[in-house]
Structure 1
Amino acid sequence: MTILELTSYATLLFLLALLLVSITNQTWFSKLRLPPSPRALPIIGHLHLLGPLIHHSFHDLSSKYGPLLYLRLGSVPCIVASTPELAKEILRAQELTFSSRKHSIAIDLLTYNSAFAFAPYGPYWKFIKKLITTELLGNRILNQFLPIRTKELHHFIRYLANKAEASERVNVTEELLKLTNNIISQMMLSIKCSGTDNQAEETRSLVREVTKIFGEFNVSDFIWFCRNLDLQGFRKRIEDIYRRYDALLEKIILDREELRKKKETQEMTCDSGDDDVKDILDLLLDAMENENSEIKLTRNHMKALVLDFFTAATDTSAIAIEWSLAELINHPMVLEKARKEIDKVVGNNRLIEESDCRNLPYIQAIIKETLRLHPPIPMVSRKSIKECNIHGYLIPKDTLLFVNIWSIGRDPKYWENPMDFKPERFLQSNKGDELIDIKGQDFQLLPFGTGRRGCPGISLAMQELPTILAVMIQCFNWRVVNPSGVEMNVVDMDERPGLTAPRATDLVCVPMARLNAYKILD
């Protein structure tokens, strides 16, 4: 027998063994009384049924096989839940069972295996959650950073006013990303994208690369015998992003440590600096240097937390505002109603402030309706740490969970005329019930998740989003144009795949001034 024949024979045996293992696994799983499932293929399982927009694919499959669905993604078992009742059962009643998160090659390397968002539920996670909610994003700190948010918003409005005066196009997508990135960059690191300081610009670019690669499909994460193979070049891309991000953060941290040493020296010789406003990096360095801390933070913990903040506060906020504006442009009657509310409550002699938004219920309703139809992160994902039972089905340990909040937000069983953009649904109770809110207690609407793993940045988001949108409505009309400059009647509402769910194409508009922005900014 020749070497070629031996190689072919060995390959055939290997493929037959894989087929046998796949069939055996399917037979074994079928005896477990798993949730309904489509027929799987050997090796790849149900991967062939998924398109680029995973939440859309899950929605279509759930419509056919039921609200609790079992899938095998390569060698990884998962379940998909698509109703508020299931979300409540899994994320509240069995919250601790599903307290873990899926890891991937990209997540493990880019988050230094230390990210709060992906950390297992335990002492470290509890310590960081407490640190974030009481110190880093507590009301005191958020109020302390209000001047930063106001200053950046005013700079954004001046830029738009200049473009309106010149009748020039604006890439709203890019400018909203710059705005949200500048806000979090200054809150985190006291840097912004302007002048000769390109650190924030580089950070913004890296964050977009991170969120993009987190959401891409890597075959090595799902098919066991490909784990050590880099078939799609993912590992090379991941390592390149990691090197650039680590070098950038290391320089920022080193510069800050030098600055802190100088301040300490000055404070030893004179009483100054006590009233300086600390950014979040300073607070993290304080925590790292605290010898009495219950958890000893490392440098890698700090870098991972900075990445957590950037990924959570840049893309998602910009995406939500852009979807809101796109819906308003496509629904001029809703836009006009929002303007009337603003004119009545605030008027045209000053710019809207964060404190005004509590008196703008229709603006708040627009944000909630946008988050229902276009949640920036369309699925809540978890991983089971032990075997459990859900509605009579046995769910094995280490099963991935996807709660499809995008699908829940469009289900006619829970929402009247779900495809209609109707903010009024958040202004009046349905059949005498309480109004639905977004804080994680109403499982029909979970844009920020719920429970222990819910987003700790909800307070910042709900101060930022309505204020930015309201100011854009107050100051400008918006004429949508295509890349060639031709005016468009409607905004395209297709999505782009990834960890987040932004619009597929950038929103390009010519802003037209409604009032003298320069005058009310002075």
Structure 2
Amino acid sequence: MAANNVDLWYIDWSYLLILILSSIFVRVALTKYGKNSSSPSTPQPPSPLPLPVIGHIHLLGSVLPRSFQTLARRYGPFMRIRMGSSLTFLVGSSPDVARQILKPDVNFSSRFELGPVQYSIYQQGMGFITSPYSPYYRFMKKLCTTKLFVGSQLNQFRHIREHEVRDCLRSVSESSVGGDACNLTAKLTTLMNNLIFRMIMGRRYDKYVDDEVKQIKELVVEIMELGSKCGIYEVFGPLKKYDLFGHGKKLRAAMVRYDDVLEKIIADYEVGDGACRGSGDDLMDILLKTSRDVDAEVKLTNNHIKQFILEMLIASIDTTSAALQWTMAELINHHRVFMKLREEIESTVGPSRLMSESDFPNLPYLQAVVKESLRLHTPTPLIFRECTKDCKINGYKVKAGTKIFLNTYAIMRDPETWQDPDEFVPERFLVNAEGSQLDQAELMKGQDFGSYLPFGGGRRACIGAMHASAVIQATVGALIQCFDWKIKDGDKVDITVGSGFSGAMARPLVCYPVVHSDPFK
């Protein structure tokens, strides 16, 4: 009996091996002869040889943007990549390709949802960030640019930003008094939590005070983690139908709990018992007023609002916190830049007060430092788009429905555009006698359309780019003005990039602050 089992095992694996080899042979043949039979006027973008079932997954490392960059050096700036058995993307990795997609981006104004949308409790297409280019998206974009994230509203939140930065400085100062190590990653994350929650619903993220906000934050993190685990189902198409490990069930349950908490907060607003805001409206106020507007072009429901806030939290907290950490890490690792920035701040602001946002126009080197950090460590290393109409990019035919990645990580390190592209050189963004390398007024809005895209570009550029830039400048400037920074076990910060899409630091930024200028004297 045992011998028969061994024989059967051997035969089964022999057939499997023959099947795999046959699949590879057929694919090679199709690739080779398919190219010869294709019309020369509409060739397909180049692609590495995929393996059966897994596609090109064996060529992709843990840092996806860097893997795409490596492949682009061999296969060109516009290539075809297949992940698993069912997901095929076109990947653009040069400024020229980015301009072809973003500048006249009417054909690429929609985004695709990459993730387990089948487990969402909200109707597909109800989201703002991931919605197609639709009347709902245009309505919400108009609301964002006229009421939610317009200059007057951002100015109204200025006192919140200044208060939270000072609170962060106070916390760092307490660490310096005892000579204790400071987990700057944790402190900057808390800063962003407080800032975003106060802007959205007038409440600080404080686990000892506001239990509802604490619940929301924990649920958002849980939703993100479960979503990434469910993402494996997308790669292997047939698995999408089966929740093999129960992650989808847990994801839906977490979203239900999030929905319950947000519904209670909305109910508090409706009866006039909303957050203690001090003065002015927060984003929840504006959204609820819009939902009650009988003349509005689109009727906003509570589900729209809850989904919108979920997207804002996912998109803003961790990305801006990561950008702050990267900027501080680069400054600590580049002492010359650190001292040049401090000299600019001290000569402009003086020794007796903490810098403020009104000082920004007189701090060009601070602006250059932030822009250079965002170039090297973009919060959006991959831009997602979906083609809505047949067109040509780089001479290749792109069909409607095709999913596109723009690899901004590679684009902003392109050696044909940037001298010493992997080096941290803020001076490249300073205006000189010949003018700046790029149009400074349009950089942060993504209107260069190709070379500089830290917050995306075109019609789907990040709506919070100016706010994020202000937060980074205010926080980094204050931390440099007030403290020197030392690193345990060496004089350099480990700038290893973490795995996945986000490009965050792999390890927490832990260092020792030494008071240089006490803002609380």
Number of the residue aligned with 1:267? none
Q: Which residue of 2 aligns with 1:279?
A: 282
In structure 1, the residue matched to 2:234 is 221
Alignment partner for residue 321 of structure 2, among 315, 318, 322?
318
Q: SS at the partner of 2:285? A: helix
Matched, 1:35 2:38: no
Q: Deviations over 1:180-200 (max 9, x none)?
A: 111110110111123321333
Give the distance between the partners of 1:369 and 1:147, measured in 2 at CA: 27
Q: How large is the RMSD of aligned CA atoms in angstroms?
A: 3.1
Residue 127 of structure 1: which of 139, 149, 154 is its match? 139
Q: What residue number does 1:419 align with?
A: 422
For residues 372 and 121 of structure 2, what CA distance do their matches in structure 1 show? 32
Q: Does 1:446 pair with 2:453?
A: yes
Aligned CA distance change for structure 1 residues 71 and 279 (closer, same or farther; 3 Å):
same
For 1:160, the aligned partner's letter is V
1:396-475 → structure 2 map (5 Å cutoff)? 396-428=399-431, 434-436=437-439, 437-442=443-448, 443-475=450-482
Aligned counterparts, 1:242-261, within 5 A: 242-259=255-272
**Pairwise CA distance, 1:91:** 1.4
Matched, 1:78 2:63: no
SS of residue paired to 2:90? strand
Q: 1:439 to 1:239 in 2, by over 3 A?
A: same
In structure 2, the partner of 1:269 is: none
The answer as to 2:148 corresponding to 1:146 is no
Task: Report the residue type matching 1:182 in the other structure.
Answer: N
Instruction: Output the amino acid matched with 1:161.
Output: S
* Aligned equivalents of 2:33, 2:253: Cα separation in 1: 41
Q: Quick one: distance in 2 between partners of 1:256 and 1:29? A: 61
Q: TM-score normalised to the size of structure 2? A: 0.88
Partner of 2:204, secondary structure, is: coil
Which string of whole-angstrom CA distances, capped at 9 and with x for unpartnered residues, describes residues 307-337 of structure 1?
1221222111111111000001100110000
Q: Structure 2 counterpart of 1:503, which letter?
A: M
The CA distance in 2 between the partners of 1:69 and 1:430, in whole Å, is 39
| Per-residue deviation, residues 112-133 of structure 1 (Å, max 9, x unmatched) | 2321100110100000000011
1:133 to 1:81, Cα distance in 2 relative to 1, 3 A: same
The answer on whether the counterparts of 1:191 and 1:199 sit within 8 Å (CA) in structure 2 is no
* 8 Å CA contact retained: 2:61, 2:67: yes
Aligned-partner residue type, residue 471 of structure 1: A
Return closer, same or farther for 1:206/1:498 CA change in 2, 3 Å cut-off.
farther
Distance 1:511 1:107 in 2: 44
Say whether the 8 Å CA contact 2:65–2:501 is kept in structure 1.
no
Superposed displacement of residue 37, structure 1: 0.7
The alpha-carbon deviation at position 224 of structure 1 amounts to 2.7
Helix, strand or coil: the match of 2:107?
coil
1:170 aligned to 2:177? no
Please list every run of 5 or more consecutive structure 1 residues that lacks an aligned counterpart in the other structure: 264-272, 482-486
Deviations 1:403-461 (A, max 9, x none): 11111122221111112111001014697565353321222110111111011111211
Among 219, 238, 250, the residue aligned to 2:251 = 238
Cα distance in 2 for partners of 1:216, 1:381 equals 19
Tell me which amino acid in the other structure corresponds to 1:61: L
Alpha carbons 2:223, 2:255 under 8 Å: kept:
no
Q: Structure 1 150/478 Cα, relative in aligned 2: closer, same or farther at 3 Å?
A: same
Aligned pair partner of 2:107 in 73, 97, 115:
97
Match of 1:515 among 511, 517, 520: 517
1:97–1:386: 8 Å Cα contact kept in structure 2?
Answer: yes
Matched with 2:4 is none
The one-letter code matched in structure 2 to 1:423 is: P
- Identify if the C-alpha distance between structure 1 residues 438 and 145 changes in structure 2 by more than 3 Å, giving closer, same or farther: closer
| Equivalenced residues, count | 499
Residue 429 of structure 2 contacts residue 437 of structure 2 at CA under 8 Å; is this kept in 1? no
Q: CA–CA distance in 1 between the matches of 2:432 and 2:229?
A: 39
Aligned AA for 1:284? L
Aligned partners of 2:175 and 2:181 also within 8 Å:
yes
Q: What SS does the corresponding residue of 1:141 show, helix, strand or coil?
A: helix
1:109 shift after superposition: 4.3
| Structure-1 separation of matches of 2:203 and 2:71 | 45
- Is the Cα–Cα contact under 8 Å of residues 121 and 252 in structure 2 kept in the other structure? no
Identity score, percent: 37
SS in 2 for 1:97: helix
Residue identity matched to 1:200: V
Is residue 502 of structure 1 aligned with residue 514 of structure 2?
no
The Cα of 1:231 is off from its aligned counterpart by 3.9
Change (3 A) 1:424 1:261: closer
Q: 2:58: which partner in 1?
A: 48
Q: How far, CA to CA, are the matches of 2:431 and 2:167 in structure 1?
A: 36
Amino acid at match of 2:161: R
2:67 to 27, 47, 57: 57
| Secondary structure at 1:41 match in 2 | coil
Moved more, 291-300 or 213-222: 213-222
Compared CA separation, residues 163 and 176, structure 1 to 2 (3 A): same
Contact 2:430 2:436 in 1 (8 A): no
Contact 1:212/1:498 (<8 A) preserved? no
Q: Which moved more, 1:238-247 or 1:72-81?
A: 238-247
Cα deviation, residue 260, structure 1: 5.4
Match of 1:117 among 105, 111, 129: 129
Alpha-carbon deviation of 1:368? 0.5
In structure 2, do the counterparts of structure 1 residues 440 and 157 end up closer, same or farther at CA, with 3 Å as the change threshold?
A: same
Partner in structure 2 of residue 207 of structure 1: 220
- Equivalent-residue separation in structure 2 for 1:55 and 1:167 (angstroms): 38
Quote the offset at 1:111 in angstroms. 7.8
